C-alpha cells in the first residue's frame, strides 16, 4: 500500500510544526481570528469581504476573472463589497428575507460570485447548481430545497428552467443576468440602480448559510445543510491545509456548482485575503499551463481527474513555460494515485498534496501539509482540531482500531464548525451517520505507524475475494503505474467460487491501442505488483470512464451496468461511453 518515495516537508509560515499546531490548537482561537458581528453574530460574507475593506485592504484585487476569450476583469475587495451590497439590496427589494433560499444556475461568471456572497450578506441561504445539469436534477434540487429565487442566464433559463417553472411552487423570482425573457427579471438595471451600502444581516453562527446537494445510490439527492459558523473551518483549513497567505494568487479549478468550488473557490480564499483566479473556460491543457504562468499562481488546488489529463498530455505540452511563483499544489475530489504525486514532483519540482473531506464535513479534514513529509498515495494527517480514527462497526457497537494498517471505517469525532447540521427533511438519515460518539464517513481507510491515513475505498466498494479484502484504490494505483494507462476504475463482481472477483476498466493514453497483448501485459503488471490474489481477473478497455461532472469516477455505475441493476441517481453524470 505505501510508496517508498517520500517527499520532504517545506517549511511554511502558516504551520511551522504540525505537532505543535495540534497541541496548541482550539476552534475558539480560530474563530477569534475572525471579526464576527456585534452580540455574537457571524456572517460568512462579512468575514470574506467587509472586514478586509475595514482593515484598509479594499484596493487589493479579490477576484480576477478570465473570460473564454482571454479578456480579464479585476474586482478589488471594495468592488466586491459594493457589488454584493447591491445584490443584497436587490434581493430585499424583491421580498427576499433572511432564511429564504437563493439558487444560482450559472457558469463561472462574475455574477455567480456576487450572488453567492450577496445572498449570504442578506442572510439568505445560498445553493449553487451545476450549469450542466438538465431540467430533472435542477427540478429535484429546487423542489427539495424550496427555492425562493433563482439567478441564471436567459439561455439556461429557456433551455432548462422554463419548462419546469410551474412545478416549482416556492419559486417566486428568477433573475437573469443578460436581459429578460417572459417570467424573469432583468438583473442588470436593478444592480445599476441599487445602493452600494447594505447592513449585513445579523446571522447567528448556527443560522443556515449554504445548501449543497450530494448524490446517493438511490434516485434522490441529499440536501446537506451548512451554517455560518462553517466559515471558521473554511478560513482555518485554507490557511493550514492549503497554506494560503494574504496577497497570494490562488487558483481553485473547481466549479462553484460543487462544494469545493464554494468552500475553497469562494470562501476560504477570500477570508484569507488572497487574489483568486476564476477561469470561465472548460479544461484545456495549454490554457491551464498559460494561466499558471501568466497569472503567477502561488497556490493551485485542483482535482485528480484534471491532473491525470495533464499527465496524459505528456511533458511536451508544457513547452518552455516556467512556474517560479508556484509554491503549493493540492488535490481533492477523490484519492490521488501515487503516480500522480510523483509526476507533480517531476514536472513542477514539488508534489501534489492530497487531502480528504466530504460534502458532509464542509471542509478539509485530513491533509498532506506543507510542513509534513508527503507519502505518495496517503491522505495525510488530520487537521489540528480534528480527531480521526479507524473503527469497526458492528450493530450499535463502535470499536476503535489502533493497530497500524488495520482496515476499518474512517470516523471523526463530531464538533468541528463546518460539520453538516442535517440532511434537509431527512433527520433519520442524518442520525444514522453518528454512532458511538463518532461521525461515520462511509469510507474505509487505514492508519500507519506514523499517523498517516490511507484511503481504501467506499465501504460499499470493498471487494471480498477468496477471503481477501481488496480496496479498489490499491489496484487502480498499481495499474496507473503502467505507461499506457491514463485512468482506471476497479469493481468487484459476484463469483460462485471466490465470492467476488476484481475487474478493472482502463482508459489508455494516446498512442496506445486496446489490444489483447496490452491487456495481458497489464494483467501481468498487476500480478507482479499486487500478487495473484489481489490483481484483477479481468480488464476491459474503455475510451472514457463514467464520472460525475466534478470528476469522481462512478464505480457503482460500472457495477450496476455489469449486473443489470438500477443505476440510481445519475443526475451528476458526465456523458460517458457505455
What CATH number did the domain enclosing 469 receive? Answer: 3.30.300.30
Specify whether 548 is located in the same domain as 517. Answer: yes
Sequence-separated (6 or more) residues with CB below 8 Å from residue 541: 505, 506, 507, 508, 514, 519
Mean pLDDT computed over 181-208: 97
Percentage of the residues of the chain whose pLDDT score is greater than 90: 74
Q: How many residues does the chain have?
A: 578
Specify whether 136 is located in the same domain as 261. Answer: yes
Specify whether 167 is located in the same domain as 217. Answer: yes
Sequence-separated (6 or more) residues with CB below 8 Å from residue 280: 65, 66, 67, 68, 107, 108, 109
The per-residue pLDDT for 2 is: 44
Asked whether the beta carbons of 341 and 354 are under 8 A apart, the reply is yes
Asked whether the beta carbons of 557 and 567 are under 8 A apart, the reply is yes
Asked whether the beta carbons of 480 and 305 are under 8 A apart, the reply is no
Mean pLDDT computed over 370-387: 95
Give the number of C-alpha atoms closer than 13 A to the C-alpha of residue 26, restricted to the C-beta side.
4
| Inside any domain, residue 40 | yes
| Inside any domain, residue 224 | yes
Please check the confidence at residue 570 and state whether its pLDDT lies above 70.
no
| Inside any domain, residue 141 | yes
Specify whether 438 is located in the same domain as 476. Answer: no
Backbone angles phi, psi at 495, to 5 degrees: -145, 130
Sequence-separated (6 or more) residues with CB below 8 Å from residue 211: 101, 125, 126, 127, 145, 223, 224, 225, 226, 424
Task: Give the global pTM.
Answer: 0.85
Asked whether the beta carbons of 127 and 210 are under 8 A apart, the reply is yes
Specify whether 435 is located in the same domain as 531. Answer: no
Specify whether 426 is located in the same domain as 546. Answer: no
- Examine the fold and report which residue of 447, 472, 502 is the final residue of a domain before the chain moves on: 447
Helix (H) or strand (E) holding 135, with range, is helix 135-145
Band (pLDDT 50/70/90 cuts) for residue 578 is very low
- Comparing 533 with 260, the larger pLDDT belongs to 260
Domain of residue 253 covers: 18-447
Nearest-CA neighbor of 35 among 281, 273, 285? 273
Band (pLDDT 50/70/90 cuts) for residue 476 is confident
Question: Cell 479507524, residue?
Answer: 390
Band (pLDDT 50/70/90 cuts) for residue 217 is very low
Specify whether 70 is located in the same domain as 37. Answer: yes
Measured CA to CA, the distance from residue 526 to residue 232 in angstroms comes to 44
The per-residue pLDDT for 469 is: 62
CA distances to 38, 75, 231, 238 from 78, in Å: 22, 8, 20, 22
Domains held by the chain: number: 2
| Inside any domain, residue 572 | no
| Inside any domain, residue 162 | yes
Specify whether 437 is located in the same domain as 484. Answer: no
Mean pLDDT computed over 463-477: 73
| Inside any domain, residue 576 | no
Specify whether 442 is located in the same domain as 476. Answer: no
Band (pLDDT 50/70/90 cuts) for residue 551 is low
| Inside any domain, residue 578 | no
Band (pLDDT 50/70/90 cuts) for residue 216 is low
Q: What is the pLDDT of residues 110-122, one digit of tens each?
A: 999 999 999 999 9
Specify whether 390 is located in the same domain as 476. Answer: no
- Examine the fold and report which residue of 424, 447, 470 is the final residue of a domain before the chain moves on: 447
Q: In CATH, what number is assigned to the domain containing residue 293?
A: 3.40.50.12780
* Number of neighbours of residue 543 by Cβ within 10 angstroms: 9
- Examine the fold and report which residue of 392, 415, 447 is the final residue of a domain before the chain moves on: 447
- Comparing 469 with 539, the larger pLDDT belongs to 539
Please check the confidence at residue 471 and state whether its pLDDT lies above 80.
no
Please check the confidence at residue 8 and state whether its pLDDT lies above 70.
yes
Asked whether the beta carbons of 36 and 42 are under 8 A apart, the reply is yes
Specify whether 387 is located in the same domain as 499. Answer: no
Specify whether 266 is located in the same domain as 392. Answer: yes
Amino acid at each position: 500500500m505505501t510508496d517508498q518515495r517520500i517527499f520532504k516537508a517545506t517549511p511554511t509560515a502558516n504551520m511551522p510544526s504540525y505537532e505543535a499546531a495540534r497541541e496548541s490548537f482550539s476552534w475558539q482561537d480560530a474563530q477569534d481570528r475572525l471579526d464576527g458581528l456585534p452580540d455574537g453574530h457571524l456572517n460568512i460574507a462579512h468575514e470574506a469581504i467587509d472586514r478586509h475593506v475595514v482593515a484598509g485592504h479594499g484596493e487589493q484585487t479579490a477576484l480576477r476573472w478570465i473570460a473564454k476569450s482571454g479578456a480579464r476583469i479585476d474586482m478589488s475587495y471594495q468592488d466586491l463589497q459594493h457589488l454584493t451590497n447591491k445584490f443584497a439590496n436587490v434581493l430585499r427589494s424583491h421580498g427576499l428575507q433572511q432564511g429564504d433560499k437563493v439558487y444560482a444556475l450559472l457558469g463561472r461568471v462574475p455574477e455567480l460570485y456576487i450572488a453567492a456572497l450577496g445572498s449570504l450578506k442578506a442572510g439568505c441561504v445560498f445553493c449553487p447548481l451545476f450549469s450542466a445539469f438538465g431540467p430533472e436534477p435542477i427540478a429535484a434540487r429546487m423542489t427539495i430545497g424550496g427555492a425562493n429565487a433563482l439567478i441564471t442566464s436567459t439561455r439556461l433559463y429557456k433551455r432548462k428552467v422554463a419548462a419546469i417553472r410551474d412545478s416549482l411552487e416556492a419559486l417566486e423570482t428568477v433573475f437573469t443576468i443578460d436581459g429578460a425573457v417572459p417570467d424573469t427579471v432583468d438583473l442588470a438595471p436593478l444592480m445599476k440602480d441599487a445602493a452600494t451600502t447594505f447592513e449585513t444581516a445579523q446571522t447567528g453562527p448556527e443560522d443556515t448559510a449554504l445548501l449543497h446537494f450530494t448524490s446517493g445510490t438511490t434516485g434522490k439527492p441529499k440536501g446537506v445543510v451548512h451554517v455560518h459558523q462553517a466559515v471558521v473551518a473554511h478560513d482555518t483549513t485554507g490557511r493550514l491545509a492549503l497554506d494560503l497567505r494574504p496577497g497570494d494568487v490562488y487558483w481553485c479549478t473547481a466549479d462553484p456548482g460543487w462544494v469545493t468550488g464554494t468552500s475553497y473557490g469562494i470562501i476560504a480564499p477570500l477570508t484569507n485575503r488572497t487574489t483568486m483566479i476564476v477561469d470561465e473556460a472548460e479544461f484545456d491543457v495549454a490554457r491551464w499551463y498559460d494561466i499558471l504562468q501568466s497569472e503567477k499562481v502561488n497556490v493551485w488546488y485542483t482535482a485528480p481527474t484534471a491532473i491525470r489529463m495533464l499527465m496524459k498530455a505528456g511533458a511536451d505540452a508544457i513547452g518552455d513555460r516556467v512556474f517560479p511563483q508556484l509554491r503549493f499544489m493540492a488535490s481533492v475530489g477523490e484519492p490521488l494515485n501515487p503516480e500522480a504525486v510523483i509526476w507533480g514532483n517531476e514536472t513542477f519540482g514539488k508534489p501534489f498534496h492530497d487531502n480528504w473531506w466530504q460534502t458532509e464535513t464542509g471542509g478539509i479534514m485530513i491533509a498532506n501539509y506543507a510542513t509534513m513529509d508527503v507519502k505518495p498515495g496517503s491522505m495525510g494527517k488530520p487537521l489540528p482540531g480534528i480527531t480521526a480514527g479507524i473503527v469497526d462497526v458492528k450493530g450499535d457497537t463502535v470499536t476503535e482500531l489502533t493497530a497500524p494498517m488495520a482496515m476499518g471505517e474512517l470516523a471523526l469525532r463530531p464538533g468541528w464548525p463546518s460539520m453538516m447540521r442535517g440532511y434537509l427533511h431527512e433527520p433519520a438519515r442524518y442520525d444514522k451517520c453518528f454512532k458511538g460518539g463518532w461521525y461515520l464517513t462511509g469510507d474505509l481507510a487505514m492508519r500507519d505507524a506514523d499517523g498517516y491515513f490511507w484511503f481504501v475505498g467506499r465501504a460499499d466498494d470493498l471487494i471480498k475475494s477468496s477471503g481477501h479484502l481488496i480496496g479498489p484504490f490499491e489496484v487502480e494505483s498499481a495499474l496507473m503505474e503502467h505507461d499506457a494507462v491514463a485512468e482506471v476504475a476497479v469493481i468487484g463482481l459476484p463469483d460462485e467460487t471466490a465470492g467476488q472477483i476484481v475487474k478493472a476498466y482502463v482508459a489508455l493514453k494516446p498512442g496506445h491501442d486496446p489490444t489483447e497483448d496490452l491487456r495481458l501485459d497489464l494483467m501481468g503488471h498487476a500480478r507482479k505488483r499486487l500478487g495473484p490474489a489481489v490483481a484483477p481477473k479481468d480488464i476491459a478497455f474503455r475510451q472514457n470512464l463514467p464520472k460525475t461532472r466534478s470528476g469522481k469516477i462512478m464505480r457503482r455505475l460500472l457495477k450496476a451496468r455489469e449486473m443489470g441493476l438500477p443505476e440510481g441517481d445519475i443526475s451528476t453524470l458526465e456523458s460517458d461511453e457505455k
